[in-house]
Amino acid sequence: MAQLQRVHGFLMNDCLLVATWLPQRRGMYRYNALYPLDGLAVVNVKDNPPMKDMFKLLMFPESRIFQAENAKVKREWLEVLEETKRALGEKRRREQEAAAAARGPPQAAPKAANPFEDDDAEALAVPEVAEEKVDLSMEWIQELPEDLDVCIAQRDFEGAVDLLDKLNRYLADKPSPPPVKELRAKVDERVRQLTEVLVFELSPDRSLRGGPKATRRAVSQLIRLGQCTKACELFLRNRAAAVHTAIRQLRIEGATLLYIHKLCHVFFTSLLETAREFETDFAGTDSGCYSAFVVWARSAVGMFVGAFSKQVFVSKESLSTAAECVQVAKEHCQQLGDIGLDLTFVIHALLVKDIQGALHSYKEIVVEATKHRNSEEMWRRMNLMTPEALAKLKEEMRSCGVSDFEQFTGDDCWVNLSYTVVAFTKQTMGFLEEALKLYFPELHMVLLESLVEIIWVAVQHVDYSLRCEQDPEKKAFIRQNASFLYETVLPVVEKRFEEGVGKPAKQLQDLRNASRLLRVNPESTTSVV
């Protein structure tokens, strides 16, 4: 509401010329803009002190506000503009009627001289039907183009579409003489302008803070205009930009699990809101829109998995942290089942390579740690020194699934097992528990092969020690450890794997049978694979 420049208006019978005031140049005015009256809307503007005596000219896609010298001049401008526009509309209507009258009714073809034609034949001839006229003299039809301009300029999209629906209903069962075609041409131009404005409303460049509901107004009007496919495309493009912006603005926390909780909440909440808004906006429309939404949702999940993997797998987090993060993502994804959208398989497909890499890396860590402990093996009983330490170990073994660990404990905090075998049991069961949190069918063989490789390292070490040890007492202790490994640990591994996967693993059974053969033939040097 500040003055920009001084201008002068020249009103003609079909247009308004606006010129800029040039007090210090040759000539008094310079051309600024020319506005046809048939596309111009005049709106009175209330006083907004210190500015007063103002009126607005609406010309899609812009509008300009002018201040008159005083209230009298303003009133004169408003009156003369309306009178001139009305006179122009009346003049063009008379020209159309005169042109239609000049053409006159269609002339009947001259009758051929046929001596055999009788009066009865003439009576059966079909008379020519005069062209039906359509009444376009009603005030709301005459002012329709201007009213559409005002609605578009004032962002009254619903009002504009209501006017278009009213016109379409009126002309639905009527012919299309030239005056109707001319009106249609004017209206079609306004429809194009309205569509452009609605498309801009849904563009990603607009503010995305309103959420999916902020798009409802523009989407619903595009659908009413018969632009359902375009509305669907623009809606999904708008929401993709919103999801991308939300993920990008999410602050990366020091704790990976905390960041993943926030990431899943932001993404899946946005996806759920988008799905519900889509259902509201496009209910009853072409089912092809729903296919487009499913494709969009899969693409959005790809964007989410990219941010997820970068934080969890690329940064080389531990397997336990990775398992917790994947579990969180699965739980959030299952919420989409409430609306009939299951994208869990998409997350599995996109994460399978990263999880395979994590399992392989952690398997290598377990194997190297087992080999390192084996290299320092002394085959001595464990002395935990305190009852508290012994109780803690018992609890750890129970959590690993070894319920009868009491039979391997002795007096005064001694444990009749090697430190290497006990550490292997805890680490192997820990690996299995974390891997089962990450499990889905595509990872079955990867997990099974990793587990077999880990167990085989311990089995070979026990077999080698039995064959190489000469001391009978130590050899008996090694056999006791072998019995714990083959008859207690391996069955627990098989049972837990079957519980987590849903079916037994023949490879683990074969491995246990091979281990039993090693115990029967401890002097054998044959490698079992």
Q: What is the pLDDT of residues 464-520, one digit of tens each?
A: 888 888 888 888 898 889 889 888 888 999 999 998 888 888 888 777 776 655 544
DSSP code at position 409: B
Query: What are the residues facing 7 on neighbouring strands?
Result: 20
Task: State whether CATH 2.30.29.30 applies to domain 7-82.
Answer: yes
Q: What is the pLDDT of residues 221-240, one digit of tens each?
A: 888 888 888 889 888 988 88
Residue 168 or residue 26, greater confidence: 168
Reply yes or no: is the peptide bond before residue 61 cis, omega within 30 of 0. yes
pLDDT above 60: residue 130: no
Q: What is the pLDDT of residues 80-104, one digit of tens each?
A: 988 888 888 788 788 877 777 776 5
Calculate mean pLDDT across residues 377-391. 88
Q: What is the pLDDT of residues 279-312, one digit of tens each?
A: 888 887 766 788 888 899 999 999 999 989 988 8
Out of 21-30, 52-61, 157-166, least confident range: 21-30
Calculate mean pLDDT across residues 188-208. 82
Q: What percentage of the chain exceeds 70 in pLDDT?
A: 87
Residue 430 or residue 131, greater confidence: 430
Q: Do 189 and 147 form a contact (C-beta atoms < 8 A)?
A: no
Rounded to whole angstroms, the Cα distance separating 79 from 287 reads 52
Extract the tokens encoding 119. Answer: 């009066």
| Beta sheet of 41-45, edge-to-edge order | 41-45, 54-59, 62-67
Rounded to whole angstroms, the Cα distance separating 146 from 140 reads 10
Q: Do 184 and 147 form a contact (C-beta atoms < 8 A)?
A: no
Of 368, 361, 334, 351, the closest CA to residue 438 belongs to 351
Rounded to whole angstroms, the Cα distance separating 34 from 10 reads 10
Q: What percentage of the chain exceeds 90 in pLDDT?
A: 13
pLDDT above 70: residue 521: no
Fold of 233-342: Methane Monooxygenase Hydroxylase; Chain G, domain 1 (1.20.58)
pLDDT above 90: residue 39: no
Looking up tokens 């210090």, which residue turns up? 24
The pLDDT confidence band at residue 131, using thresholds 50, 70 and 90, is low
For the chain, give every domain's residue range: 7-82, 233-342, 373-520
Q: What is the pLDDT of residues 174-196, one digit of tens each?
A: 777 788 888 888 888 888 988 88
The pLDDT confidence band at residue 429, using thresholds 50, 70 and 90, is very high
